Chains A and B, each alone.
Chain A
Amino acid sequence: DGGITQSPKYLFRKEGQNVTLSCEQNLNHDAMYWYRQDPGQGLRLIYYSQIVNDFQKGDIAEGYSVSREKKESFPLTVTSAQKNPTAFYLCASSPTPGGTEAFFGQGTRLTVV
């Protein structure tokens, strides 16, 4: 089955710790994205990558980092510099060239305790 897998589904982190969210896709898509979802604010773009070994900041990149060493993987690290990390994180991918929709994973809910 083709799709996007995010893990874990729920994640708890202590303040001051970095944590990495996993995103894997087997759709052979070139582009991958990370969005953050907060109640009443819709989805906001954190980072995106259009090709392996290249990525760009989105609208709210501060406190986050990513890597794209393989086409199928785009992990997101939430660093201790992120002031308010508790949120629902969604990974997505899309084929290129553009113009088509993005396909989403099931999300990871991160809670800082």
Chain B
Amino acid sequence: AQSVTQLDSQVPVFEEAPVELRCNYSSSVSVYLFWYVQYPNQGLQLLLKYLSGSTLVESINGFEAEFNKSQTSFHLRKPSVHISDTAEYFCAVSELLTGGGNKLTFGTGTQLKVEL
């Protein structure tokens, strides 16, 4: 069975400082990896994904994540955060289901709080 570990439940950081949100996964097969962001009382929005190819993936709002197979990690980074980045971030790993579709297994989430 696949699992995802997000060790940091909360990460406080000052505005314009860099941040890293850690994610480690366990899986016996090839994986697809995702980061989702959730604002209060809303659904999840896809931030970025790794399916194949380049191990460094980027989002349109300055976040990036690097797939590291040897360390089974997919850490999320941003060089300079903004107040608007305050949200909860979820790492997820995808398992392909027989017959199609994919089952996402989520980590427990990291609350990023950006302070002035």
Contacts and interface: CB of A to CB of B under 8 A. Distances in A.
Query: A and B: real partners?
Result: yes
Interface of A: 4, 6, 30-31, 33, 35, 40-45, 48, 50-51, 58, 88, 90, 92, 94, 96-107, 109
Interface of B: 4, 6, 9, 32, 34, 36, 41-46, 49, 51, 90, 94, 96-97, 99-109
Given A40-B108, A98-B94, A31 B100 contact: yes
Chain A binding surface SS class: strand
Contacts of B106: 35, 42-44
B41 A100 contact: no
B25 to A, nearest CB: 13
B41 A107 contact: yes
A92 B49 CA distance: 17
B32 A107 contact: no
A7 B107 CA distance: 26
